[in-house]
Structure 1
């Protein structure tokens, strides 16, 4: 895989997991009583924090795994299973419990720090995103590829910021049904990515299975 292809793979993997357009509906619900300026400030702070969290785990995630004696293939399998549960909910156009529950949305309406929880974490950067960036960095063949992964993370959250800043316009233009269709499509791609992660992890942990396939 050449450099550009690797960047596209990393970007699409992260973008599908973050799925910012799917989060627009939740973001609108959480900021419905705010002015445009207040909403935009929430969007900026939330996305910046989410990006910092993702970059932090991308850079230091594998060292943290080493502290606990966990190898990247074990995380690949666990992350793949987690992502598949998220994808299953997305394909049924539901809010994933991994991201945020309906009860958390209702409780968040009364809080002032919603840009931290639940928007930055876990709506944008949840366990699925954290697992994915750690796995990508752990399997990157060289320094150049690691830089590409970091660039893919920044690009994903830059697009997320634009979507949140223009969330109300996007919602009016695409409509609720359009967002449901997009969510289901992203769920399908995410399910395929999850299966690939689990299959690769199993083959690496149990090499004999790889020879039989």
Structure 2
């Protein structure tokens, strides 16, 4: 194995996946909603919920990264089409986050608040859809579609993206664990600034995934002629 190239591909895969997943999950914004929805629970209950949400978020992101692509391929969807569609979904989600962040946050609060009377709320609604909802799953599947062919580069991609998902899940746990501190330090105004910067980065990532898919499709179309 070429370790210098492995390290380069690993770092590139980690940075791409981490920036995309962090932007769509946005643990800081999630901490605001988590604090609001769990205000009536004890401190120990909230710490337990934060720990379980972090674990569930890791499972959801890793599953979408490595199973979602194969499920879609089972239905005959080509990798190029998956990349273009996934990039469009990512870009659309980022544009929504940029243009109407308040409406998106309010929608997540309403969806989660309606089910907060259940006994076990760690997975539903606090993990899904509040923390890692359909948008996160779509982004993870789109990232999984950028995987290279099975080789040393694929191993670096697998390690980098998986570690990125675990890192984002760990940040979810930390942000929710210290939700009071996060809210007191940032507040809604600073959180919205961070959210908009993350949304712009996510928009760029979505467009890059679209370009990669378009390049793959063009290569497939014009290869016979060449």
State the TM-score, normalizing by the size of structure 1: 0.85
* Structure whose CA Rg is larger: 2
Equivalent in 184, 187, 191 of residue 172 of structure 1: 184
Contact 2:66 2:144 (C-alpha < 8 Å) held by counterparts = yes
Contact 1:24 1:163 (C-alpha < 8 Å) held by counterparts = yes
| CA 1:130–1:121: 2 relative to 1, 3 Å | same
Contact 1:86 1:96 (C-alpha < 8 Å) held by counterparts = no
Write the distance in 1 (CA, Å) between the matches of 2:65 and 2:135: 13
Pairwise CA distance, 1:129: 2.3
Pairwise CA distance, 1:102: 4.5
Contact 2:90 2:138 (C-alpha < 8 Å) held by counterparts = no
| CA 1:77–1:122: 2 relative to 1, 3 Å | farther
Match of residue 209 from structure 2: 197
Q: Bigger CA drift: 108-117 or 148-157? A: 108-117
1:18 aligns with 2:25: yes
Equivalent in 88, 92, 104 of residue 96 of structure 1: 104
Pairwise CA distance, 1:133: 2.6
| CA 1:170–1:102: 2 relative to 1, 3 Å | closer
Deviations 1:114-151 (A, max 9, x none): 22122211222223322333333332331222122111
| CA 1:41–1:95: 2 relative to 1, 3 Å | farther
| CA 1:156–1:101: 2 relative to 1, 3 Å | closer
* Equivalent residue runs for 1:29-44 within 5 Å: 29-44=36-51
| CA 1:170–1:198: 2 relative to 1, 3 Å | same
| CA 1:40–1:88: 2 relative to 1, 3 Å | same
* Equivalent residue runs for 1:94-173 within 5 Å: 94-96=102-104, 100-141=107-148, 142-173=154-185
RMSD value over aligned CA atoms? 2.5
Count of aligned pairs: 209
Equivalent in 64, 68, 75 of residue 68 of structure 1: 75
Contact 1:14 1:156 (C-alpha < 8 Å) held by counterparts = yes
Match of residue 151 from structure 2: none
Deviations 1:92-111 (A, max 9, x none): 322538x9544323313323
Pairwise CA distance, 1:203: 3.1
Q: Tell me the SS of whatever aligns to 1:109.
A: coil
Pairwise CA distance, 1:160: 1.3
Structure 1: tracts of 5 or more residues without a match: none
Contact 1:20 1:160 (C-alpha < 8 Å) held by counterparts = yes
Q: Tell me the SS of whatever aligns to 2:101.
A: coil
Contact 2:83 2:145 (C-alpha < 8 Å) held by counterparts = no
